[in-house]
């Protein structure tokens, strides 16, 4: 069809893609997966706490936070 189907310097794109599909990359152990999950949960909890803190502080300051001199 067009230029994409022609091999570039003797290497076709299909052969390169099939070689990448067979490679599994880095395989984590169960301990590493658990550590990643616990880090993700800790980050999510910290982010949720920060959002709640900002929301509460906005409520405490009230609508006057938007009225200020320019």
More confident residue, 43 or 10: 43
Q: pTM of this prediction? A: 0.56
Domain boundaries, the chain: 26-63
Q: pLDDT grade, residue 13 (50/70/90)? A: low
Under DSSP, the state recorded for 67 is -
Residue 12 dihedral angles phi and psi, to the nearest 5°: -85, 155
Report the SS3 class of residue 33. Answer: helix
Q: Per-residue pLDDT tens for 25-59?
A: 899 999 999 999 999 999 999 999 999 999 999 88
Q: How many CA atoms, within 13 angstroms, populate the side-chain half-sphere of residue 24?
A: 3
């Amino acid at each position: 069809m067009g230029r994409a189907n022609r091999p570039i310097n003797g290497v076709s794109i299909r052969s390169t893609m099939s070689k990448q599909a067979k490679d599994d990359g880095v395989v984590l152990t169960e301990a590493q997966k658990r550590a990643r999950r616990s880090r993700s949960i800790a980050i999510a909890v910290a982010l949720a706490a920060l959002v709640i803190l900002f929301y509460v502080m906005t409520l405490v300051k009230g609508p006057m936070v938007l009225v200020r001199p320019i």
